[in-house]
Amino acid sequence: METNMNQKTKKITVLVQFIISVAFLTGLDQWTKYLAVQHLKDQADIPLIPNVLYLHYLENRGAAFGLFQNQFIFFGIMTVLILCAVLYVLWRMPSEKKYLLLRIICFIICAGAIGNFIDRVRLNYVVDFIYFSPINFPVFNVADIYVVVSMALFLISFLFFYKEEDFAFLSGKGIKK
């Protein structure tokens, strides 16, 4: 009985951590976009590092590289699917310390998905404002950084830290702790 109660307490703790972390990160993303609208819209680019990094306001109605322009339903479905998948992983994930990095990755990717989804629902476009010019990279925002960094961390952790059996919890064959 105590083990079951301990598991519930740990799940609730992870849920609270998730809500606080995602709310904070999403709030940070939305604040930076608010600042971009207030200070960059209809203004010339602001060089942070000349010839390298600029603040450049852009209303993005698609994804990176101009893909999927005006596909609100597609992005809505993708956001819901991502959130459901991540919440499933978090719920099934053992509470062992070795999964802390994976939990953080889940928090960050959700914040990125939610941050851009808020823009799409509220504005019908995503506010982008960071431009890396040496490779003519698409203009992006903080939520995009969350998604890219979390995916890079996941790939690195999957290749070098976690083993295949560490993900057995997803199939229900692993030991839940």
Which residues are part of the catalytic machinery?
Answer: 128, 144
Torsion sign over Cα 7, 8, 12, 13: negative
DSSP string, 90-158: HHHS---GGGHHHHHHHHHHHHHHHHHHHHHHHHSSEEEEEEETTTTPPPB-HHHHHHHHHHHHHHHHH
